[in-house]
Amino acid sequence: MLRLGSERDQLGVIADQTGSPTYAIDLAGAVLDVIAAGSKAYGIYHYSNEGVTSWFDFAKTIFDISKTDVVVNPVKTSEYITKAVRPAYSVMDKSKIKSAFGIKIPYWRDSLEVCIARLAE
């Protein structure tokens, strides 16, 4: 998004799909916490940052935090042709990983601010 925002005056971003953005560093930290716990609680665990947003609002937030001057226009999924079929709502239930390992999951916007600050360094 930062690259596209620096190359274009405006962008169309899907507004009718919502999810929970995930900062890879937060996910890696959670994986390390699970390993360090030495638990025998095997199974499938979901992880993403806390909170819910659309791709459109996520892009707007990226540009707001990075102070990138670009117009972001909402686009419907039906207007954006892609081979991949994406669900309109893809928020995962993270209660299992939080309760099994006591993991505190950061809010996506807080992690995005950290990420953009690190990219600016």
Q: Tens of pLDDT along 40-86?
A: 999 999 999 999 999 999 999 999 999 999 999 999 999 888 888 88
CB distance 108 to 21 below 8 Å: yes
Structurally, the chain folds into a number of domains equal to 1
Sign of CA dihedral 108, 21, 113, 67: negative
* The residue to which tokens 């806390």 are assigned: 50
CATH number, residue 8: 3.40.50.720
pLDDT of residue 83: 85
Note the pTM of the prediction, 2 decimals.
0.90
Domain range for 62:
2-120
